[in-house]
Amino acid sequence: MTTSSNTSAQTPDVPAVPTDSPDLALPELKRRLGQISDLGAAAGLMSWDQETQMPAEAARVRGQQMATLEGLAHEMFTAGRTAELLTEVGEPADPTDAAIVQVTRRDHGKATKLPTEFVEEQSRARNEAHHAWIEARKHSEFATFAPHLTKMIDLARRQADLLGYEAHPYDALMDGYEPGMRAAHVRTVFADLRDRTLPLLRRIVAAPDAADYSVLTRPFAPEAQKAFAWRMAGEAFGLKSDFARQDESAHPFQTNFSRSDLRITTRVEPYWPACLFGTLHETGHAMYERGVGERWERTPVSSGTSLGVHESQSRMFENLLARSRPFWNRHFAALAEAAPEVTAGLDPETLYRAVNRVNPSMIRVEADEVTYNFHVMLRFELELALLEGSLSVADLPEAWNAKMGEYLGLTPPNDAEGVLQDVHWSAGLIGYFPTYTLGNLLSVQLLEAARQTPDIAAGIDQAEYAPLLAWLTENVHQHGRSLTPEQITVAATGRPLTADPYVAYLHEKYEGIYGLS
């Protein structure tokens, strides 16, 4: 933890002497925000360690350690002195300072609605739920996790009540991940998307195979999988060991403690694309954080503007680019070098068709582009029902299985491949899932806009992504949270978010792969 001579930073419950000057208040506010950011980074490092390297017996103590750090950060941010400084700074003339103050005021208004005791209770409950989820998933026993999920849903309801909402408690929770988005709008978007893509899925399922899919489970040594995935993250997308590292975890994720300290995780399975595309998905997240302007460092502005925009980057890297013909034309030789047993008898076109297989399956993170959004819709609908109380936690596995049958024609054989597959609910991330599909929609809309620049379009066609990354940094990444998701979308693409480009992309790509008229 960073120490400081700032009295208010060391004892947040004791107001400091007012400065009565914006010139003095702004530096003090920035120091305070920097220290709060440092506390968050320390808690984040503990969380990363918990997922990757921590000894099992450390779980109980780690939960309290993280709760302490998160509680201290919350106290500092919601303390009276922070409110005084936000008043004293007025309206800074410098655009960077003005954005920092604006975002801080917005966050402060939310944070002050949550008592420190509640924040600490949430942190402890998350830690306990997470470890219960790991054990439940390992043994495929939902009953082990159910009491903890009941607690997380209760905390989510209480959080929504504390934050306040007009139409639905889900709105208050989702606003923390996708500012300005509301459940009613998501329902409308999802219904439209379902109506326009479910018929496509039905046609594809009825079509002959586009390739020999057994190549996707050919032997590929675990360490070789990870090495190849990391190589692609660097060579194709610019993720380097100078500022990033990769580890393994039960559920792939990305976290960062500054724009110069990025961590991604992956997992290795017999289905080897899971490691590759999981790594490149998290690389998209990491390169977004890498591109956030340095001027925002150690302030509330220094992160992606929303999870939907974040997902647009990860899904773009994973699907629009790494599953494209140009990518495999360029990197097939590298795969052959890393795993000759995988590529024996193959060519780039055959592999392209194989990795773009459309196949309704149990696991969201391994789902293809056409079926993926149905996994998200399922989770969104169940979350709404849990929050409303129309669905009990005890009945969740049955409801999950019914939705899987309705959308994908499948019934999970066990809880591990069904209701226990995602880490999100153990972490209390209620309202998070819709952002995955919102990100899918935005990914195509952004790529379509970027391709209007000839050099970028030529680069994409040759799997040379440096010009595209520069465009994304300029139009999306650098702004951090200084612009809203809608502002970034309109400025970068010329219109608000729409499903039209995404639906057209799915039809063009998969009708071509499967030979549909």
Residue positions annotated with a catalytic role: 282
Comparing C-alpha atoms, which of 114, 127, 28 is closest to residue 75?
114
| DSSP H helices in 175-296 | 183-206, 222-237, 273-291
Cα separation, 435 vs 176, in Å, equals: 11
Contacts of 247 (CB under 8 A, 6+ apart): 52, 53, 263, 264, 265, 266
Cα separation, 415 vs 97, in Å, equals: 49
Cα separation, 396 vs 436, in Å, equals: 21
State the amino acid at position 128 in one-letter form.
E
Cα separation, 497 vs 210, in Å, equals: 32
Q: Which tokens hold the place of 366?
A: 């391994």
Contacts of 262 (CB under 8 A, 6+ apart): 239, 243, 244, 245, 254, 256, 286, 289, 290
Tell me the C-alpha to C-alpha distance, in Å, between residue 403 and each of 97, 410, 412.
Answer: 48, 9, 11
Sheet strands side by side (includes 261-266): 244-248, 261-266, 254-258
Q: Three-state SS for 482?
A: coil
Q: Quote the distance between the C-alpha of residue 378 and its chain's center.
A: 18
Cβ-based burial of 219 (10 A; exposed 0-12, middle 13-18, buried ≥19): exposed
Cα separation, 137 vs 399, in Å, equals: 18
